[in-house]
């Protein structure tokens, strides 16, 4: 039997089972043996019957003292098997499985595995799995049993059998890591690891097997990311800029504050990239309000000083307009010519901008994704800056890049990425971080509240609005559906507008409004015509309204910590003390814990790290582009130490000439692979 054979090559797998396995993504023998357990039943650890707790799954061993079947209704059979180990008793119950009765005899010794409940004063396990065993046999039966995620119509034992069969009858599982790597990092052989991952003889062995398989995955992922990076660098000579001259100095003079140490460091990183031979590929990550824009402005000025044009692309019209304003102020009197191009730019004006751009009269073009449209042509584009990168796909960014000849690339994001993620998500970009906010910012007072506080909170909002401040209200994410979100937002809006705050002017924005309508409401809020902005969770990224002092979030327990932090970053931008109020009816321990983190932690990086640990990387943007979705064993957050070793090894081996194309093709589907080998 070969790895690429269809699963029907496994004994007992017919067309029906093939179809069911297909639902789990298992089509070949290889898929089957790569379908690793979600967890293991630990049959090695027998719990005495007076030490059970009802939260957990346990293994018990006891003698059967009674077997009985009752049939309370014609079609209902309940079998109860009473086990005792001398210290306590457990009832095993089976519903509607009358044949089970034959499997149990009084006096017989039974190992049983299952979740323990406490019912009518007795410990009980429903549908426990059992093995009949004499006391002297127990030792040899102690083992870890793999548990697989299943689908309807496949039982656990069937899955175990199929996998065991495949493992036993397989030709071979070839080693795919160079022996040098295996020796250096003390890795199990591949074949051994696959076996041991399914049927480990001890936790120790399971750990080593998992380590090896996670290493392997991360090794190839990092190899791919490394190749991607090399591909960008190879044969691409960048625009080699000169050290700062007069123009840069005059822009610097226009900055009304002193740069923070972090900002200075990022600027040093950028300038040394730009003065080097290889085009810059750099990500700046910095919390909302950390001051990324001024850095972008300086980088763009530098490219202009060196005789090239720059582009700055933002995800929304408002943001583009804000950037345009900021840049125009910073470049005031320096002679740098900046223009704004968005979907709202009038046709005649657009035509003029395009022609001045193509003739090189415009130095810097700021805009939305209108910038990547076809008619936009630069005379000599030397730098592309994209803000809030995750709003754009990598493809969109690359489309802008091709409008120049190997331009320098700068990506800005306010979604803080812990080092772990940066290594794996952005392995192909260099990362600079602005970790500290400019001085003088007050922390946003953050409070988690429940229903009993609502009346007080509304009074507080009134007070703030009467003082001339503004308020954001974010409505709950109801579920995946946008429609439900909208309905919730509308009803909150109506309630607030008519009942709670009739004397104020409220506005509503939601995801189903046209961009222009949304922008109109946002603009009214920016200008202070609206005092309270009610929004679904899609509030425009990064709007700057320093006069807003309250961020009120309904159903805060439904949001991720990073998302809450982003929302909180909308306030606290002005001189007045600001507040973030997290409203939730969810009194579960987990929800309260998460919200309490928000009240204690102001730093976005720390929160993002906690968030990733609590929720996993699944919701992170961009992961698809870097093969993370294809990982089966490794977890890029928890396995950071493995990731770092695998990364080192991958770089070494690739520079020794290891060819990984075939492995990457097999492992990584979609964009990740095609970006490397295209
Ligand atoms: P973001 O990183 O979220 O894009 P911005 O660039 O919009 O942040 O900056 C937020 C605010 O902080 C702006 O009003 C900007 O002028 C101000 N700012 C930036 N850097 C500094 C600094 N070093 N000192 C004081 N204020 C600063
Ligand atoms: Mg910004």
Condensed to tens digits (0 to 9), the pLDDT of residues 277-298 reads: 888 989 898 887 889 999 999 9
Q: Is 323 in the pocket of ligand 1 (CB under 6 A)?
A: no
For 89-101, what is the mean pLDDT? Answer: 91
- Tell me if 360 CB under 6 Å of ligand 1: no
The rounded distance, in Å, linking the Cα atoms of 194 and 190 is 6
Q: Indicate if the pLDDT at residue 232 is higher than 80.
A: no
Residues in the chain, how many? 678
DSSP state for residue 150 in the 8-state scheme: -
Phi, psi of 639, rounded to the nearest 5 degrees:
-100, 30
CA torsion sign for 171, 177, 183, 185 is negative
Q: Is the CB of 297 under 6 A from ligand 1?
A: no
Q: What is the rounded average pLDDT of the residues 510-526?
A: 84
Residues 8-25, mean pLDDT to the nearest whole number = 93
Q: Among the atoms of ligand 1, which is closest to the Cα of residue 260?
A: 23
Atom 17 of ligand 1: nearest residue by CA position: 291
pLDDT at 480 over 60: no
Q: How far apart are CA 639 and CA 644, in angstroms?
A: 9
Question: Considering the chain, what percentage of its residues have pLDDT values greater than 70?
Answer: 91
Closest residue CA from atom 23 of ligand 1: 259
- Pinpoint the residues of the chain covered by CATH 2.40.50.140: 45-142
DSSP 360-374: T--SEEEESGGGGST
pLDDT at residue 671 tops 80: no
Joined tokens for residue 434:
């602005």
262 confidence band (pLDDT: 50, 70, 90) = very high
pLDDT at 233: 74
Q: Is the torsion defined by CA of 484, 486, 488, 491 positive or negative? A: negative
- What pLDDT was estimated at residue 336? 97
Cα–Cα distance, 150 to 37 (Å, whole number): 10
**Atom number in ligand 1 closest to CA 294:** 6
pTM score of the predicted model = 0.67
Ligand that comes closest to the CA of residue 389 = 2
Which residue in this structure is represented by tokens 């599982």?
A: 173
| 367 pLDDT above the threshold of 50 | yes
**Helical spans, DSSP H, in 24-77:** 29-33
Locate CATH 3.40.50.300 in the chain: 246-275+291-413, 445-601
Distance 568 CA to ligand 2 centre (A): 14
- Cα-to-centroid distance, 553 and ligand 1 (Å): 25
Pairing mode, strands 109-119 and 122-126: antiparallel
What's the average model confidence in pLDDT over 621-629?
A: 52
Determine whether the shortest distance from the Cβ of 260 to ligand 1 is under 6 A.
yes
Which ligand 1 atom is at minimum distance from the Cα of 286? 2
Whole-angstrom CA distances from 546 to 285, 432, 475, 526, 570 are 22, 26, 21, 9, 8
Ligand nearest to the CA of 569: 1
- Which ligand 1 atom minimizes the distance to the CA of 263? 23
Q: In terms of Cα–Cα distance, which of 376, 380, 372 is closest to 405? A: 380
Return the ligand 1 atom nearest residue 293 CA: 6
Average pLDDT over residues 469-477: 89
Q: How far is the CA of 538 from the centre of ligand 1 (A)?
A: 23
Nearest residue to 30 via CA among 187, 200, 244, 173:
173
Q: How far apart are CA 507 and CA 521, in angstroms?
A: 6
DSSP 302-336: HHHHTT-EEEEE-SSHHHHHHHHHHHHHHTTTTT-
> Which residue is it, tokens 């709670």?
500
Smallest CA separation from ligand 1 atom 5, residue: 291
Query: Does residue 294 have its Cβ closer than 6 Å to ligand 1?
Result: yes
Model pLDDT, residue 417: 67
Say what the pLDDT of residue 42 is: 82
Q: Is 632 helix (H, G, I), strand (E, B) or coil?
A: coil
Average per-residue pLDDT for the chain: 87
Instruction: Please state the CATH superfamily assignment of the domain spanning residues 246-275+291-413 in this structure.
Output: P-loop containing nucleotide triphosphate hydrolases (3.40.50.300)
Which pairing describes strands 338-341 and 364-367: parallel, antiparallel, or unpaired? parallel
Q: Measured between alpha carbons, how far is 270 from 293 in angstroms, rounded to an integer?
A: 14
Q: Quote the pLDDT of residue 674.
A: 76
Residue 549 near ligand 1, beta carbon < 6 Å: no
Distance, in Å, from the CA atom of 77 to the CA atom of 639, rounded to the nearest integer, reads 48
In terms of Cβ atoms closer than 10 Å to its own Cβ (0-12, 13-18, 19+), residue 155 is exposed
414 lines ligand 1 (CB under 6 A): yes
287, 263 Cβ separation under 8 angstroms: no
Whole-angstrom distance, CA of residue 507 vs CA of residue 519? 12
Pick the CATH number of 45-142 from 2.40.110.10, 2.40.50.140, 3.30.750.80, 3.40.640.10: 2.40.50.140
Ligand 1 mutation target, pool 261, 293, 574, most atoms within 8 A of CB: 293
| CA-based nearest residue to 413, from 427, 401, 426, 402 | 426
CA of 573 to the centre of ligand 1 (A): 9
Of residues 189 and 435, more confidently modeled = 189
The CA distance from 481 to 238, in Å, is 45
Of the candidates 430, 437, 414, the residue with the CA atom closest to the CA atom of residue 283: 430
pLDDT band at 533 (very low <50, low <70, confident <90, very high): very high
* Interval 577-583 mean pLDDT: 96
Going from the C-alpha of 184 to that of each of 209, 644, 646, the distances in angstroms are: 16, 14, 11
Ligand 1 and 290: CB distance under 6 A: yes
Any ligand 1 atom below 6 A from CB of 642: no
Query: Which residue shows structure tokens 């073009």?
Result: 365
- The contacts of residue 240 (CB under 8 Å, 6+ apart) are 275, 276, 277
Q: At what angle do helices 561-568 and 589-600 cross, to 10 degrees?
A: 40
Beta strand 129-132 with 144-147 is unpaired
Tell me the sheet residues that pair with 341.
367
Q: Is 293 in the pocket of ligand 1 (CB under 6 A)?
A: yes
* Cα 584 from Cα 595, distance rounded (Å): 9
Whether residue 626 is predicted with pLDDT greater than 60 in this model: the reply is: no
The alpha carbon of 234 is separated from its chain's Cα centroid by a whole number of angstroms, namely 30
| CATH number 3.40.50.300 given to 445-601 | yes
Q: How far is the CA of 133 from the centre of ligand 1 (A)?
A: 71
The minimum-distance atom of ligand 1 relative to the CA of 292 is 2
Least confident of 232-236, 356-360, 592-596, 654-658: 232-236
Distance (Å, whole) CA 400 – CA 397? 5
Distance, in Å, from the CA atom of 225 to the CA atom of 649, rounded to the nearest integer, reads 13
Q: What is the chain's alpha carbon radius of gyration, rounded to the nearest angstrom?
A: 31
What phi, psi does 377 have (nearest 5°)?
A: -130, 130
Going by C-alpha positions, the residue among 433, 385, 439 that lies closest to residue 265 is 433
Is residue 572 lining ligand 1, measured as CB closer than 6 Å? no
Pocket test for ligand 1, best of 289, 413, 541, 568 (most atoms within 8 A of CB): 289
Within 467-601, residue ranges assigned H as helices are: 482-494, 515-526, 561-568, 589-600
């Amino acid at each position: 039997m070969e790895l690429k054979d269809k699963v029907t090559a496994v004994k007992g797998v017919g067309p029906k089972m093939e179809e069911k396995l297909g639902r789990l993504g298992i089509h070949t023998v290889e898929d089957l043996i790569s379908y690793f357990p979600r967890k293991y039943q630990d049959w090695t650890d027998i719990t005495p019957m007076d030490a059970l707790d009802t939260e957990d799954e346990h293994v018990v061993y006891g003698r059967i003292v009674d077997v009985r079947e009752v049939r309370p209704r014609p079609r209902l059979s309940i079998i109860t098997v009473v086990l005792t180990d001398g210290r306590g008793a457990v009832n095993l119950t089976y519903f509607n499985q009358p044949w089970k009765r034959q499997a149990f005899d009084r006096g017989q010794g039974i190992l049983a595995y299952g979740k323990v409940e406490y019912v009518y004063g007795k410990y009980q396990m429903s549908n426990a799995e059992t093995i009949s065993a004499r006391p002297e046999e127990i030792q040899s039966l102690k083992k870890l049993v793999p548990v697989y995620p299943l689908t309807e119509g496949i039982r656990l034992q069937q899955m175990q059998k199929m996998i065991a069969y495949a493992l036993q009858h397989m030709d071979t599982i070839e080693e795919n890591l160079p022996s040098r790597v295996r020796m250096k990092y003390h890795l199990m052989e591949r074949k051994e690891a696959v076996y041991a991952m399914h049927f480990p003889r001890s936790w120790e062995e399971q750990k080593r097997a998992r380590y090896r398989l996670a290493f392997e995955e991360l090794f190839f992922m990092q190899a791919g990311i490394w190749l991607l990076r090399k591909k960008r660098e190879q044969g691409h000579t960048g625009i080699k800029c000169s050290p700062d001259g007069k123009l840069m100095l005059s822009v610097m003079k226009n900055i009304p504050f002193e740069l923070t140490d972090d900002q200075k460091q990022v600027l040093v990183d950028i300038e040394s990239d730009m003065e080097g031979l290889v085009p810059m590929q750099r990500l700046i990550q910095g919390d909302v309000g950390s001051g990324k824009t001024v850095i972008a402005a300086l980088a763009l000025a530098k490219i202009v000083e060196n005789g090239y044009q720059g582009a700055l692309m933002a995800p929304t019209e408002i943001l583009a307009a804000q950037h345009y304003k900021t840049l125009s102020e910073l470049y005031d009197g320096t002679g740098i010519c900046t223009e704004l191009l968005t979907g709202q730019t009038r046709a005649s004006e657009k035509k003029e901008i395009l022609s001045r751009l193509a003739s090189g009269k415009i130095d810097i073009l700021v805009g939305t994704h209108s910038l990547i449209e076809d008619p936009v042509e630069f005379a000599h584009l030397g730098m592309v800056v994209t803000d809030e990168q995750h709003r754009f796909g990598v493809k969109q960014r690359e489309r802008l890049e091709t409008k120049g000849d190997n331009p320098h690339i700068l990506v800005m994001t306010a979604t803080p990425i812990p080092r772990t993620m940066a290594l794996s998500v952005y392995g192909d970009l260099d990362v600079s971080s602005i970790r500290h906010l400019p001085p003088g910012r007050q922390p946003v007072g953050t409070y988690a509240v429940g229903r009993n506080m609502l009346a007080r909170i509304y009074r507080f909002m009134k007070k703030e609005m009467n003082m001339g401040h503004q308020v954001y209200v974010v409505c709950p994410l109801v579920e995946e559906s946008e429609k439900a979100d909208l309905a919730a937002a509308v009803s909150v809006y109506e309630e607030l507008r008519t009942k709670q705050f009739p004397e104020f002017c409220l506005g509503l924005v939601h995801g189903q409004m046209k961009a222009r309508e949304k922008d109109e409401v946002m603009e009214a809020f920016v200008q202070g015509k609206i005092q309270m902005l009610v929004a679904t969770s899609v509030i425009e990224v990064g709007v700057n309204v320093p006069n807003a002092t309250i961020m009120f979030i309904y159903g805060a327990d439904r949001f991720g910590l990073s998302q809450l932090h982003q929302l909180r970053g909308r306030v606290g931008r002005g001189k007045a003390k600001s507040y973030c109020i997290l409203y939730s009816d969810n009194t579960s321990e987990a929800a309260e814990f998460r919200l309490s983190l928000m009240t204690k932690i102001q730093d976005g990086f720390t929160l993002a790290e906690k968030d990733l640990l609590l929720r996993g990387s699944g919701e992170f943007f961009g992961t698809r582009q870097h093969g993370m979705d294809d990982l089966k064993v490794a977890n890029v957050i928890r396995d950071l130490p493995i990731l770092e070793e695998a990364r080192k090894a991958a770089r070494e081996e690739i520079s020794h000439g290891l060819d990984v194309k075939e492995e990457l093709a097999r492992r990584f589907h979609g964009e990740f692979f095609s970006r490397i080998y295209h």
